[in-house]
Amino acid sequence: MNTQFMATIAGEDRPDLLKLLAGKTHALEGRWLDSKISRLEGQIAGIIKIDIPNENLSALKADFNSIPNFHVSTSEVKLVTVTECEQLNLKIEANDRPGIISDIAHFLDSKGVAIEHMENHRFGVIGLGTTVFIAELSLMVPVDMGTEFLVEELEKLSSDLRVEVEEIA
């Protein structure tokens, strides 16, 4: 019998790291079902959904944890009830301020919207003497919510916040 779990990984990046992780998984008859990996400034972080025979689970966790300068945490995959949703991609721009990500995440969570992917950046605008916040989000939105409602409500978070709906590729 197999089990599925999520491995959250973080640590120093190196050229063979993903090959090493995949090789350790394969050697123990496991397979990656889904993964999201990001690299930033010499570091790597990600989440991997793994399916593996029950008897090999402990060995794989030990193998992953034996990698120097690398951190792994694991959690069992639990079945959840899924609401019928549709994907929506948004770009949000605003003057930067403390708590802006928290406000956006709290609002989306309160509406039952799941953040599938989020990338954000802050840019200094020398001529204006301010910093601009830009976020690109891929969301799973309940089908009965309506895109227009979600955009209008997000824009109410602050007077300078602009939301643009992006086409799904």
Assigned token pair, 123: 């840019």
| Structural domains in the chain, sorted by start | 2-76 (3.30.70.260), 85-166 (3.30.70.260)
Can you give the pLDDT at residue 77? 85
Q: Identify the helix (H) or strand (E) that includes residue 128.
A: none
Q: Identify the helix (H) or strand (E) that includes residue 31.
A: strand 31-40
Q: Distance between CA 87 and CA 115 in Å, rounded?
A: 10
- List, for residues 29-54, the tens digit of each pLDDT value: 999 999 999 999 999 999 999 999 99
Q: Distance between CA 151 and CA 162 in Å, rounded?
A: 9
Report whether pLDDT(81) > 70.
no
What is the pLDDT averaged over residues 115-144?
A: 91
- List, for residues 130-148, the tens digit of each pLDDT value: 899 999 999 999 888 889 9
Q: Distance between CA 106 and CA 119 in Å, rounded?
A: 16
Can you give the pLDDT at residue 76? 86
pLDDT band at 155 (very low <50, low <70, confident <90, very high): very high
Q: Identify the helix (H) or strand (E) that includes residue 61.
A: helix 57-65
Can you give the pLDDT at residue 128? 78
